[in-house]
Amino acid sequence: MSQIIDGKLVAKTVRKGLKPRIKQLKEQSVTPGLAAVLVGDDPASHTYVNSKARACEKLGVYSEVIKRPADITQDDLYGIVDGLNQNDKIHGILVQSPLPKHLDELAVTLRIDPRKDVDGFHPHNVGMMLIGNPGLRPCTPYGMVKLLEQYEIDPSGKEVVVVGRSNIVGKPIAAMLLQKADWANATVTVAHSRTANLPEVVKRADIVIAAIGRAEFITGDMVKDGAVILDVGINRVDAPDTEKGYKLVGDVDFEACSKKAAFITPVPGGVGPMTIAMLLNNTVEAAEMIAAGD
């Protein structure tokens, strides 16, 4: 049976480590500040943004949530971002995805000051990460690296298969793990919907990262004994026998894979809690860099 990688516990450790850094900033009359821009009324986005605001409050980080209707214009959204770029109280800006279809999400990302891009999505930050000189890193992939570090799972020399090629998770975690750096130096394969013989490719992996967005897609016969499995997926599936009528599952068949893996993340409670923890880390890091004039 696998050892469970407890994302809640590691996230708590990350937040605890931020406290002395926040204290030091406040001694310099700097309170780290995070602004979240929420467009429309997507329930999941509202829940997520509210969770971020509560996490900020608990740590003593200043937080703003800016809500706008779904019919906001591109120019009006630019105006909000421009104002936050100039606001000295704000060190981190995130515009919650998904945006309504009439808005250009990439153009909005490009509008954010890279020093305040706490999502780590701006091409400047992506490029710096790719060449091995990272600043603000994407939160979910960064969180996965922290999970490996906390559980002393060194990817150096290991074969990693990332299932999924999104700009948010798949591509950046691949870039992070192949770097010549601590908690990296892996041999990385990025697999996806067009990969031939996908089960055979996944079965080679010492570390499997599932980020494909399909419920329980990675089955027990696709992983080798002793593998490490990080499951990024959060999928709602029908469960008529439960009070809510549904349950949350990952991209991995947890019951089957946990019988073979050495380490595995659960869903919920695995990778998910790390995303907000690393967002807070990035906000503090951004405040430190801006305060230092970097």
Task: Pick 47 or 262 by higher pLDDT.
Answer: 262
294 pLDDT exceeds 80? no
% of residues, the chain, pLDDT over 90: 91
Task: Pick 102 or 2 by higher pLDDT.
Answer: 102
- Over residues 18-30, the mean pLDDT reads 98
Paired tokens of 105: 């999400």
**pLDDT tens for each residue of 236-254:** 898 888 888 889 999 999 9
14 pLDDT exceeds 90? yes
Note down the domain range covering 81: 31-113
pLDDT at 240: 86
Task: Based on the fold, state whether residues 230 and 196 are members of the same structural domain.
Answer: yes
pTM for this entry: 0.95
Catalytic residue check, 101: no
Name the catalytic one among 119, 206, 251, 253: 119
pLDDT at 64: 96
1 pLDDT exceeds 90? no
Task: Based on the fold, state whether residues 86 and 162 are members of the same structural domain.
Answer: no
**pLDDT tens for each residue of 166-186:** 999 999 999 999 999 999 999
Answer whether residue 49 is part of any domain: yes
Catalytic residue check, 52: yes
CB 94 within 8 A of CB 34: yes
- Over residues 129-139, the mean pLDDT reads 95
Give the lowest-confidence range in 15-29, 61-75, 238-252, 255-269: 238-252
Answer whether residue 20 is part of any domain: no
Answer whether residue 65 is part of any domain: yes
Task: Based on the fold, state whether residues 149 and 260 are members of the same structural domain.
Answer: yes
CA distance 35 to 116: 10
61 pLDDT exceeds 80? yes
Strands (E), 220-286: 228-231, 235-238, 246-249, 263-264
**223: domain CATH number?**
3.40.50.720
**pLDDT tens for each residue of 279-293:** 999 999 999 999 998
Q: Give residue 45's pLDDT band: very low, low, confident or very high (50, 70, 90).
A: confident
Q: Give residue 232's pLDDT band: very low, low, confident or very high (50, 70, 90).
A: very high
Task: Based on the fold, state whether residues 50 and 145 are members of the same structural domain.
Answer: no
Work out how many domains the chain is built from and give that number.
Answer: 2
Task: Based on the fold, state whether residues 179 and 224 are members of the same structural domain.
Answer: yes
Task: Based on the fold, state whether residues 106 and 162 are members of the same structural domain.
Answer: no
Catalytic residue check, 253: no
Answer whether residue 258 is part of any domain: yes
Computed over every residue of the chain, the mean pLDDT equals: 96
Which ranges of the chain does DSSP label H, i.e. alpha helix?
Answer: 7-27, 43-59, 74-86, 105-111, 123-130, 139-150, 170-177, 198-203, 254-257, 272-291
